Amino acid sequence: MSAAEPNPKRIEGKVIGAALRARIGEAVADLKDAHAKVPGLAVVQVGEDPASQVYVRNKGIATKEAGMVSLEFKMSGDTSQEVLLEKVRELNADPDVNAILVQFPVPSQISQQAVIDTIHPDKDVDGLNPLNAGRLVSGLEALTPCTPLGSVILATETLGDLTGKHAVVIGRSNLVGKPVAQLLLKQNCTVTMAHSRSQDLPAICRSADILVAAVGIPEMVKGDWVKPGACVIDVGINRIDAPERGEGKTRLVGDVAFAEAQENAAHITPVPGGVGPMTIACLLKNTLTAFCRQNGFDEPKL
């Protein structure tokens, strides 16, 4: 297959994410017409981390494109934990702010968990507050972390009904592994949670109809770990050296050895361009959900 030809196996997150963002924009416009109100997302960044600056800028652009209000608060790298938490409490109390996201990582003098605990669960669009995590496990309505939500949307858009499929999740983080397993259970999958210390991990992976790799190790999942016909969702984003591109150059790869894995997989997400674009789309989705729940509006079917 030449580089110019589309790969029918690739799950194009850019395309699916763009379509979701368009539907969210339409829903926001309808709510504005009906209620003269739109969702407001507040993003707080502490320090000058270059990657965080790019993420915050992209989130702001996407928020405005969807017709929402984007509020950005930039705080210096020496900001104390109490000053940041006071800003979060102020945003919790602001009725025009429906969603709060503190960009991680935060500087070392600030506890990430303290920030997570302080964000009001109803405005917690990262879905990390323990109350939201507990509600998800209990099968109740909850705001869910954006990357797991996007990963499961990609699987359902690709496969349709997931009922009865065996899903293997590699990774047990609070941000991806645990919530994606809960979301797949909600879709009636049989779920196996594995990780880097699981015994005979390749054999576990080969049993998967849906394989979600979220372990943070570049190209750990090899082609012969993938069951023929499986759907592979690669959540990993790893930057590795790329001397073939020139001295000091790097490239992005996932947790799956893409070229090998696509030989067996029926469907596979590329890195970049797979799960990544879904994360911002699902941030907007969560912001819209939070806005509707706070105001007692019917949640649009997206």
pLDDT in tens, 213-233: 999 999 999 999 999 999 999
Least confident of 1-15, 126-140, 280-294: 1-15
Of the candidates 212, 164, 210, 166, which has an alpha carbon nearest to the alpha carbon of residue 191? Answer: 166
Mean pLDDT of 235-259: 91
Average of per-residue pLDDT values in the chain? 95
Of 3.40.50.1110, 3.40.50.720, 3.90.550.10, 3.40.640.10, which CATH number belongs to 146-278? 3.40.50.720
Per-residue model confidence (pLDDT) at position 247: 87
Which residue in 45, 103, 182, 187 is the catalytic one? 103
Read off the DSSP letter of residue 297: P
Pick the catalytic residue from 9, 45, 59, 262.
59
* Residue 126 annotated to the active site: yes
In this prediction, residues 232-236 reach a mean pLDDT of: 97
pLDDT of residue 107: 96
The token duo for 22 is 């368009």
Q: What is the per-residue pLDDT across 12-31, written as a single tens digit (0 to 9) for each?
A: 999 999 999 999 999 999 99
Does the pLDDT of residue 172 top 50, yes or no?
A: yes
Mean pLDDT of 185-198: 96
Q: The tokens of 232 are what?
A: 């592979």
Which pLDDT score, from 0 to 100, does residue 4 have?
47
Q: In angstroms, rounded to a whole number, what is the distance separating the alpha carbons of residues 71 and 123?
A: 14
Residue 234's pLDDT band, with cuts at 50, 70 and 90, is: very high
CATH code matching the domain that covers 35-125, chosen among 3.30.460.80, 3.40.50.2300, 3.40.50.10860, 3.40.50.1010: 3.40.50.10860
Q: Where are the domains of the chain?
A: 35-125, 146-278
Q: Is 59 a catalytic residue?
A: yes
35-125 and 146-278 in the same fold: yes
The pTM (predicted TM-score) of the whole model is 0.94
Provide the pLDDT confidence category of residue 6 given band limits of 50, 70 and 90. Answer: low
Confidence check: pLDDT of 1 > 50: no
pLDDT for res 2: 45
Element (H, E) at 231: strand 231-234
Say which DSSP state 241 is in.
Answer: E
3-state SS assignment for residue 232: strand
| pLDDT at 127 (0 to 100) | 97
Residue 5 has what pLDDT? Answer: 57
pLDDT in tens, 37-78: 999 999 999 999 888 898 899 999 999 999 999 999 999 999
Which pair of structure tokens corresponds to residue 96? 């025009």
- Catalytic residue (choose from 45, 87, 124, 126): 126
Per the annotation, the verdict on 298 as an active-site residue is: no
- Size (the chain), residues: 302
Strand runs labelled E in 9-98: 40-46, 69-75
Asked whether residue 235 carries a pLDDT value surpassing 60, the answer given is yes
19 dihedral zone (left: phi>0; alpha: psi -120 to 50; beta): alpha
